[in-house]
Amino acid sequence: MAKTIRLTTAEAIVRYLIAQKTTVEGATVPLFPGVYGIFGHGNVTALGHSLETHREEIPTWRGQNEQGMALAAAAFAKAARRQQIMVATSSVGPGATNMVTAAGVAMANRLPVLFLSGDTFTSRLPDPVLQQVEHFGTPSTTVNDAFRPVVRYWDRLTHPAQVLSSLPQAVATMLDPGDCGPAFIGLPQDIAADAYDYPEAFFETTVHTIARPRPDLTQLAAAAAAITQASRPVIIAGGGVHYSLAEQELADFAEAFGIPVVETVAGKSSLLADHPRYCGPIGVTGAEAANAVVRQADLVIAVGTRLEDFTTGSWTVFDEKAVFVAINAARFDAGKHRALPVVADAREALVELGAALGDYAVDAAWREGSVTQRAALQEFVDSRTQDDGVWPPSYAQLVGLVHESATEEDYVLTAAGGLPGELNVNWMSKAVASFDCEYGFSCMGYEISGAWGAAMARPKGEVYSLVGDGSYLMMNSDIYASVLSGHKMILVVCDNEGYAVIERLQTNQGGASYNNMLADSNGSGTDARVNFYEHAKALGAETFEVSSLDEFAGALEKARASDKTAVIVTKVRAKDFTEGGAFWQVGVPEESPRTAVVEARASMDRGLKAQRKGV
């Protein structure tokens, strides 16, 4: 008879998580290296007790806001290239719902995070409990059901024995290269505290290996046949290149056949900027040089990308007749827009596809043309980042100085607003997997919390994060979390006094500037301004406020030399953006009393004529 051990549900969960291991760079390490947690009723007395008991084996890091700590968990997963997973735990009610947004970030970006939230009592005897939202016709519904649309795996434990099936399924989902995403497990208060006789074997050490599904031979042959018929192919490198650790195979494949490579936001730093086949970032926040290559392509090899609208220019950047070959571990992504699917791990698919192509090579003119476009990109970046002697500076000028300060060991991060376009174009990658722009969910507030998580995941180098004043005001408390935990980041706060990039969209589509910039917002305090320098200082960071690019460069040097989180505050131009190179479809009113809006709608309709039709 199998040996058993009597444990509470919460204790069984913690012991199981500790027993899960994985291999990173040849070393066996915890699959779950830690927990981000804010305790409250619903998770403090049972789960919190077990986490304290095992604090040396699985440390818990206290966040300042549940959304922030869960964003940190998502950023950790990105920086760890999905090889390790953080846990995020909250109490009942608002603690749980605060994490729903972060779950959306992880879901959109295909990142593994394990969410453990407290829940109400399965017995319902004390109902309604503190923080419970009651649904009169469906009493089993709780706020934790709000996670269902934003996770890959959802379960609510209603008996201690369910741990035996639920936890392994959650782990398997998060490690599945095609189905990867966040997992949620709800812990009702009575169930978390109840005990059960668990098999001891359930807690034996398990070393996981992330699967590398090989391509189907028929799919591979069809893809190879299509590529050999192409004279002007291009590769789009997406985030899947990073998660497959396929950067070297991508570089070798591109060079062997002379195929130019463009990158998505998630795929940026798949190639080094000086690689001869690198042509730059694609799409709305991309560069004209890269988009020019894509427009001429007769075949597109999409590697590990979900082809969202900022990548595809709302599906206008491609020739209508271009053939698509989509290499993706997710079947759903591999079949988009009538692509020839290759459902497989990116690294293994590139190796096997390369062998199938034999001595194929692109036309010499196409190879040389991409070199010309790469040179044009560098010339453009140099022009955007140079000092023009005017203060305040542009975003691009700040990006240029941060880039100059950074080394190959460093990591740069941003999200939402105008900074994604600035970094995506003007940051020339010095190392692979050294860039994170959260643009799958485009979540304001990710910049600071995400930098905290990334700093935990990266054992060496600096983590730079660029954040606008709007995102800073949404979520800044993890500056304090990074100081408390000792995970240093360098934060550049770019103050343009509003949500300038949305104001740009608003006015570019014929609208009046309204409610985006502080100057055109309602209220009596429109002249009031936040002192970001004093605020960051109050949160424990070493702070700098600059009024020239020379001072900014000096502050970067001091920030690198500091042993704790540093914040550099600078003004930035509100209307000096690096132009992207692609159309973007947005909803412009068909009827309006404003002539400018009517004209913008007509322009939008003209742009849509180039839109590729697909599914």
At 135, which CATH number? 3.40.50.970
Q: Phi-psi bin for 19: left (phi > 0), alpha (psi -120 to 50), beta?
A: alpha
The token pair at 283 is: 């799409």
pLDDT for 2 equals: 86
Last residue of a domain, one of 571, 590, 606: 571
The token pair at 49 is: 């007790």
CATH number of the structural domain spanning residue 281: 3.40.50.1220
| pLDDT tens-digit readout, 548-594 | 999 999 999 999 999 999 999 999 999 999 998 899 999 999 999 99
- Residues 6+ positions from 335 with CB-CB distance below 8 Å: 326, 341
Residues 359 and 402 in one domain: no
189 touches 119 (CB < 8 A): yes
Q: How confident is the model at residue 524 (pLDDT cuts 50, 70, 90)?
A: low
Nearest Cα neighbor of 119 from 156, 85, 87, 150 is: 156
609 lies in some domain: no
pLDDT for 615 equals: 57
Nearest Cα neighbor of 20 from 244, 202, 243, 245 is: 202
Burial of 57 (0-12, 13-18, 19+ CB in 10 A): middle
- Work out the number of other CB atoms within 10 angstroms of the CB of residue 217: 10
- Residues 6+ positions from 553 with CB-CB distance below 8 Å: 401, 404, 405
pLDDT for 391 equals: 97
H and E: helices and strands count for the chain: 24, 23
Residues 533 and 412 in one domain: yes
Name the strand (E) or helix (H) holding 35: strand 35-37
Name the strand (E) or helix (H) holding 601: helix 595-607
| pLDDT tens-digit readout, 407-432 | 999 999 999 999 999 999 999 999 99
275 touches 428 (CB < 8 A): no
Residues 19 and 161 in one domain: yes
pLDDT for 613 equals: 84
Does 598 or 369 have the greater pLDDT score?
598
Average pLDDT over the chain reads: 97
Please state the length of the chain. Answer: 615
528 lies in some domain: yes
In sequence order, the β-bridge partners of residue 89 are: 37, 116
Helix ranges, 386-509 (H): 395-405, 419-426, 446-457, 469-474, 478-485, 500-508
Residues 201 and 225 in one domain: no
In sequence order, the β-bridge partners of residue 467 are: 493
Total structural domains within the chain: 3
Helix ranges, 111-215 (H): 163-175, 189-193
Residues 441 and 321 in one domain: no
| pLDDT tens-digit readout, 208-262 | 999 999 999 999 999 999 999 999 999 999 999 999 999 999 999 999 999 999 9
579 lies in some domain: no
Residues 327 and 463 in one domain: no
515 lies in some domain: yes
Last residue of a domain, one of 208, 234, 258: 208
Burial of 459 (0-12, 13-18, 19+ CB in 10 A): exposed
585 lies in some domain: no
How far apart CA 355 and CA 371 sit, in angstroms, is 25
pLDDT for 526 equals: 66
pTM of the model: 0.97
How far apart CA 293 and CA 297 sit, in angstroms, is 6
| pLDDT tens-digit readout, 314-351 | 999 999 999 999 999 999 999 999 999 999 999 999 99
Residues 171 and 40 in one domain: yes
Angstrom distances, CA of residue 546 to CA of 66, 392, 395: 32, 10, 14
How far apart CA 100 and CA 541 sit, in angstroms, is 28
pLDDT for 370 equals: 87
pLDDT for 331 equals: 97
409 lies in some domain: yes
What range does the domain containing 185 cover?
Answer: 4-208
The token pair at 357 is: 């192509």
Residues 407 and 464 in one domain: yes
Residues 39 and 169 in one domain: yes
- Work out the number of other CB atoms within 10 angstroms of the CB of residue 579: 10
Residues 543 and 462 in one domain: yes
Q: How confident is the model at residue 1 (pLDDT cuts 50, 70, 90)?
A: confident
Confidence check: pLDDT of 525 > 80: no
Q: Taken in order 22, 25, 27, 30, is the CA torsion positive or negative? A: negative
| pLDDT tens-digit readout, 86-107 | 999 999 999 999 999 999 999 9
605 lies in some domain: no
| pLDDT tens-digit readout, 508-523 | 999 999 999 999 888 7
Residues 161 and 25 in one domain: yes
The token pair at 45 is: 């007395």
Give me the DSSP letters along 244-305.
Answer: TT-HHHHHHHHHHHT--EEE-TTTTTSS-TT-TTEEEE-STTS-HHHHHHHHH-SEEEEES-
93 lies in some domain: yes
Nearest Cα neighbor of 105 from 435, 464, 336, 445 is: 445
What are φ and ψ of residue 70, in 5° steps?
A: -75, -35
Q: Taken in order 451, 452, 458, 461, is the CA torsion positive or negative? A: positive
Last residue of a domain, one of 162, 178, 208: 208
244 touches 304 (CB < 8 A): yes
Portion of the chain with pLDDT greater than 70, in percent = 99
| pLDDT tens-digit readout, 255-303 | 999 999 999 999 999 999 999 999 999 999 999 999 999 999 999 999 9
Residues 359 and 245 in one domain: yes
Residue the block writes with tokens 């995070």: 113
